[in-house]
Amino acid sequence: MYLYWPSFNAALAPAINQQRIVVNTALSMSASCIGACSTARLIHGKLDMEIVLNATLAGGVIIGACVDMIVDPFASIIVGSAAGIISAIGFAYLTGALKKTIGLHDTCGVHNLHGIPGILGGIISAITAATAVNTFKN
């Protein structure tokens, strides 16, 4: 899945944008992996592979909506790091709390892998679109 996600994000983009999309997605997913590993280590004192495996893909989810609008690679790294950290915290604390309070049993981690990063990705894409500058002159 890790190798497929960049091409998934770039599939419908114009050819001129595809290389940037693949690079931004790979950077975001790599940063998500580092953020998830760091967060799992801080929370548990060791790597929790369930957290790391699931939170790594959160970088691809969060960057999906704004991947073609981000030009600076550092922004992709920041966005991916945020996804890994938020997703890892969700897997560590939120999953158990949701199961205990409302009886939600999320066996596949959809809420923390796709739900929270997807919402944050939508917010980030709205901010990116609002701050975009049109460089084309008529």
pLDDT tens string 76-127: 999 999 999 999 999 889 888 888 999 888 878 888 889 999 999 999 999 9
In our burial notation (b when 16+ CB lie closer than 10 A, e otherwise), range 102-112 reads eeeebeebebb
Confidence at residue 27, expressed as pLDDT on a 0 to 100 scale? 93
From the number of C-beta atoms within 10 Å of its C-beta (0-12, 13-18, 19+), residue 38 rates as middle
Distance CA 69, CA 72 (A): 9
Q: Which one is predicted more confidently, 134 or 116? A: 116
Count other Cβ atoms within 10 Å, centred on residue 126: 12
pLDDT at residue 65, rounded to an integer:
86
CB within 8 A of 68, min separation 6: which ones? Answer: 13, 17, 20, 21
Do the Cβ atoms of 96 and 64 come closer than 8 Å?
no
Taking the C-alpha atoms of residue 45 and residue 42, their distance in angstroms, rounded to an integer, is 6
Q: Which residues fall within 8 angstroms of residue 99, CB to CB, at 6 or more apart? A: 105, 106
Residue 3 pLDDT > 80, yes or no?
A: no
Mean pLDDT along residues 125-136: 81
Q: What pLDDT was estimated at residue 116?
A: 93
Q: Which of the two residues, 135 and 101, has the higher pLDDT score?
A: 101
Contact call for residues 9 and 63 (beta carbons, < 8 A): yes
Q: What would the mean pLDDT of 56-71 be, rounded to a whole number?
A: 86
Instruction: Give the pTM.
Output: 0.87
Give the pLDDT confidence of 16-57 residue by residue, as tens digits: 888 888 999 999 999 999 999 999 999 999 988 888 888 878
Q: What is the pLDDT of residue 43?
A: 92
- Which residue bears the tokens 């960049």? 6
